[in-house]
Structure 1
Amino acid sequence: MEAKCIGFDGTTSEISISASVFGRDYNETLVHQIVTAYMSNARRGTRAQKGRSDITKSTHKLWRQKGTGRARVGAASNPLWRGGGRIFPSSPQENFAHKVNRKMYRVGICTILSRLLSENRLHLIEEFVVNTPKTKEFINKLRTLDLTNVLIITEEIDNNLYLSSRNVPMVGVIDVSHIDPISLLKHNHVLISRGAATKIEELLK
């Protein structure tokens, strides 16, 4: 399939891209599954709550078993009491991992890229190079392309591009090996260099 490749001088050209990567039908269920799995696998699981045995309270019986007219009660660490332990406490060892097959993940990324292209939110460019590590030069290039809230995907990130883009809000710069569904979906536009597009096709075919 053919797609437009834009340039900083305002010219456009047609380039050939893989339909199996950028021309798939949208599968909302699959996209939801890989996004949920990606976010779950990123959880560190550091939350912790105290169970009944972890509460530092006296084990003395608060009042006698019979004769008071009140319900029988044991220690103050009872989960039914204020300040007592949790019945099923969360543990740092809790596992939030979701398994997603490699083929499903690749198809899901292709589905997202295809949807972005069909909505005119994915743009191709010959290359995105910054000659000096200056934020001003980087912003001027984005203004030339009239793009805001953009994710830039390049074949590899050089030091100039990294230094000039790291302080710009709502702009992300990653290489092909670090593509993930969250980064693709949270930005309004995705800008991919021609070399990166070729490398993506090789990885996702």
Structure 2
Amino acid sequence: MELAINNSDKTLSVSDAIFGRDFSEDLVHQVVVAYRNAGRSGTKAQKTRSEVRGTTKKSKKQKGGGARHGALTAPIFVGGGVTFAAKPRSFAQKVNRKMYRAAMASILSELNRQGRISVVDSLEIEAPKTKGLITMLKDLGTGRRPLLVTEDATENLYLSARNLPYVEVRDVQGLDPVTLVGADSVVFTSDAVKKIEEWLA
């Protein structure tokens, strides 16, 4: 498979297994959910009636006072415990390496099929100026939420994109399925594409 390089007559030869495979919605969904869950802290905690501070002595006589109640730490009272109290837990889901790489290749293939991938020789910026990056993105015709992927993102590129709220800059090591799925378009450098092929091969 050949990918056209923007503003050039050259093309880049890429693997069909990475940029031309069938889309697996179930696999991509599983990997995206697992990736997002891995970022959850899982530290929410509430107290049961046995953990709430306060006496467990019966609050009033059994008879003659209306409703019959025991301790004021019961869940029906303000300040009492929680019936099914949340406890700290891990939301992590196991996704093996083969599944993760297959999902990444599936996402890349679908982006390529939809014409949302662009390849350029370089994304170098001479100075950390937001205006320069905006001009570059207009020339490339990216959407509102572009993702710029380089082999090793330079500091100038990061600083130029910092003030643009919907522009993401990643190097190949920092690429993840959630960022790929959420991007309107993805701009790769030629070196980044080669490195991704080595990673997902």
Give 3-state SS (helix, strand or coil) of 2:50's partner.
helix
Query: How far 1:44 sits from its partner (Å)?
Result: 1.0
CA distance in 2, matches of 1:6, 1:102: 32
CA shift digits 1:4-51 (9 cap, x unpaired): 1113xxx45322111111111000000010011001111012222122
CA distance in 2, matches of 1:135, 1:69: 72
- Residue 115 (1) aligns with residue 110 (2): yes
Structure 2 counterpart of 1:107, one-letter code: A
Query: How far 1:196 sits from its partner (Å)?
Result: 0.2
| Gap regions ≥5 residues in structure 1 | none
CA shift digits 1:58-107 (9 cap, x unpaired): 32312223x3385542101112334321123222x311111101100000
Matched with 2:186 is 190
CA shift digits 1:124-147 (9 cap, x unpaired): 111111011111111111111121
CA distance in 1, matches of 2:43, 2:131: 40
- Give the TM-score normalised by the residue count of structure 2: 0.93
- Residue 202 (1) aligns with residue 176 (2): no
Give 3-state SS (helix, strand or coil) of 1:199's partner.
helix
- Residue 154 (1) aligns with residue 154 (2): no
Give 3-state SS (helix, strand or coil) of 2:10's partner.
strand
Matched with 1:4 is 4
Matched with 2:20 is 23
Structure 2 counterpart of 1:51, one-letter code: T
| Gap regions ≥5 residues in structure 2 | none
Q: Give the share of equivalent positions with the same residue, in percent.
A: 42
CA distance in 2, matches of 1:147, 1:13: 20
Aligned length: 200
| Aligned counterparts, 1:35-74, within 5 A | 35-65=32-62, 67-68=63-64, 70=66, 72-74=68-70
- Give the TM-score normalised by the residue count of structure 1: 0.91
Structure 2 counterpart of 1:25, one-letter code: D
Matched with 1:137 is 132
Structure 1 counterpart of 2:24, one-letter code: N
